[in-house]
Amino acid sequence: MDPLTNPATGLEVHQFPCLEDSYGYLVRDRESGICAAVDAPSAAAVEAALAATGWTLDFVLNTHHHPDHTGGNFELKAGTGCQIIGPRADNARIPGIDVVVGDGDIVAIGRHRARVLDTPGHTRGHIVYVFDADEAVFTGDTLFSMGCGRLFEGTPAQMWDSLQKLRALPAQTRVFCAHEYTQKNGHFALGLEPGNRHLLARVREVDQLRSLDMPTVPSTLGLERLTNPFLRPDSPELQASLGLSGAPLVEVFAETRRRRNEF
């Protein structure tokens, strides 16, 4: 059994590195064998993961339109006959899309249910998939470990809104994000909150993992709440570092994001 499987519910998760610094994911209902890829960074990488697991693909669940998330759509659909599910708001930009979903919709992978949340900011149509019962969320490029996506198509207010939806999930929720950006994120975060002992411990752990070329993902929502500066605009230390003590949280968030762009 893959170590990322939830033994209580039987949702199997197979995580694999691909492209430069991406993670691809296969999720599967052990009982029925129904299987989905969360995003399709490259057809070859997803096909290799299918070959390694012996699983057969039924769905691609896209988070947003960027090529490092949809580049494998056409080829996987042609090769496996899978259905492509993606954000309604990005309908026209998701290659091969069959089914559009949006906030509050449920996507069933066998007995397992993923709740769709609209999380605009990185792109205007970005969505995430929350497997509530299985305690897992696939966050695409909205939330990274100790980071968040760049604001290519949205405002800070939109992204902060989106991140607050994720921040509210239970602490034990495992966070499966689309990129291994954790180490750089962590060192940026430490510059803003050098007194955060949770952050210090996490950065040490991440440095160690990366020196062994091991993944830092998945994280948990509880850990992110303690260490991710983009979920912590209410931290007095963070606010003071930015010269924004007592400022509205959206302003603190916006300034944190702006500084990360230049880090």
- Residue ranges binding Fe ion (CB under 5 A): 68, 141
Report the residue number, 66 or 260, with the smaller CB distance to Zn ion: 66
**Cα(166)–Cα(116) distance, integer angstroms:** 11
Q: State in angstroms the smallest separation of the CB of 39 from Fe ion.
A: 8
Q: Is position 66 an interface residue for Zn ion (rule: CB under 5 A)?
A: yes
Q: How many CB atoms lie within 10 A of CB 235?
A: 17
Q: How many residues bind Zn ion (CB under 5 A)?
A: 2
Q: Is position 14 an interface residue for Zn ion (rule: CB under 5 A)?
A: no
Q: State in angstroms the smallest separation of the CB of 230 from Zn ion.
A: 15
Report the residue number, 65 or 112, with the smaller CB distance to Fe ion: 65
Q: Based on the residue annotation, tell me whether 198 is a catalytic residue of this protein.
A: no
| Per annotation, catalytic residue among 14, 65, 69, 126 | 69
Q: State in angstroms the smallest separation of the CB of 236 from Zn ion.
A: 32
Q: Based on the residue annotation, tell me whether 66 is a catalytic residue of this protein.
A: yes
Nearest to 140 by CA among 37, 223, 20, 31: 37
Residue type, 210: R
Which two tokens mark 76? 């996987």
Q: Quick one: 200 exposed, middle or buried, by C-beta within 10 A (0-12, 13-18, 19+)?
A: middle
Q: Based on the residue annotation, tell me whether 68 is a catalytic residue of this protein.
A: yes
Q: Based on the residue annotation, tell me whether 14 is a catalytic residue of this protein.
A: no
Q: Is position 179 an interface residue for Zn ion (rule: CB under 5 A)?
A: no
Q: State in angstroms the smallest separation of the CB of 66 from Zn ion.
A: 4
Report the residue number, 64 or 112, with the smaller CB distance to Fe ion: 64
**Cα(67)–Cα(32) distance, integer angstroms:** 30
Answer whether 120's CB lies under 8 Å from 89's CB.
yes
Residues near 185 by beta carbon (within 8 Å), at least 6 away in sequence: 144, 145, 146, 147, 228, 260
Q: Is position 141 an interface residue for Zn ion (rule: CB under 5 A)?
A: yes
Q: Based on the residue annotation, tell me whether 122 is a catalytic residue of this protein.
A: yes
Active site residue ranges? 64, 66, 68-69, 122, 141, 179
Q: Which residues bind Zn ion (CB under 5 A)?
A: 66, 141
